[in-house]
Amino acid sequence: MKVSFNELQGIGRKAFIGIGFAEGDAIDAAEMVAWMEAHGLGGVEALKKGLRFLLAEDHNESPTLVYQDEDFSVLDAHNHSILGNASLAVELGYARARGRGLSVTKIRHCHNRILIIGYLSRLARRGMNVTAFWRNAHDPLTELVVGFKAGHPVPEICLYSLEKTPDDTEKNDGITLIMANHVDLLPSLRSEYELTNLMRQTEEDLERQRDRALVEGMDIDDELWHNLKSLADRLLVEATDASRSGAGAGTSDND
């Protein structure tokens, strides 16, 4: 089925609140998914894959700050989706980079990592250069690099594989974020290992996809849309129950 950007964002916000997200986190998560889908980056598919994990997570458990110094921070997301754990890490890195010019932030033990790209767009619009990268444990080993220039709302993205797997490669379920308020961080890919470019998307590619999606709408899986509506209905039921319990005369003359 076809839906608009606003429809996807709206049902997403209600669904995430129904799952148990705080309202601010729900707004952020819904915007990330809709932003990714509008730019052709598979936001809906990533949400579909991660939805059953989201339903099992404790959304009151915040990321833990494992280590920090003036320029470097490490956070543990406790194997949760990035949807509920991006804001603290990203805003921490942003504040450090604003104050010191450069920051490095590592988010460990998280999944749905691709969806963080939508959140990083906000930082770029606020004048921050941002590069994010992470490895995926496929065969061959792949690495995704996302680079935003300050003031540019869309990134350049490169996915490449390493033909020879490094000896020190371990399971990678984290993200590394590098931010700078005065240095262009878009990477020139250099490695002692031979790289095979699997996919490259420029800012122009993503802008064309976004313009098309805003005019034509976005194709959404019917099953996922039904699941999101069911989760959103939880919010409606809770609101109705709360209204019903609060109806009638109050307990004092000051009501």
Residue 248 lies in a domain: no
Q: Which of 153, 164, 244 is nearest to 206 (CA)?
A: 153
Residue 249 lies in a domain: no
Query: CATH number of the domain that 164 lies in?
Result: 3.30.1370
- Which residue shows structure tokens 């307990």? 251
State whether residue 67 is helix, strand or coil: strand
pTM for the model stands at 0.82
Residue 188 lies in a domain: yes
Which domain, by its residues, includes 130?
Answer: 2-241
- Which residue shows structure tokens 């980056």? 41
Q: What is the mean pLDDT of each run of 10 residues along the chain (255 residues)?
A: 94 93 91 94 91 86 89 92 85 92 93 91 94 82 90 90 64 88 66 60 92 94 92 70 46 37
CA dist., res. 9 & res. 135, Å (int) = 28
Residue 250 lies in a domain: no
CA dist., res. 16 & res. 94, Å (int) = 25
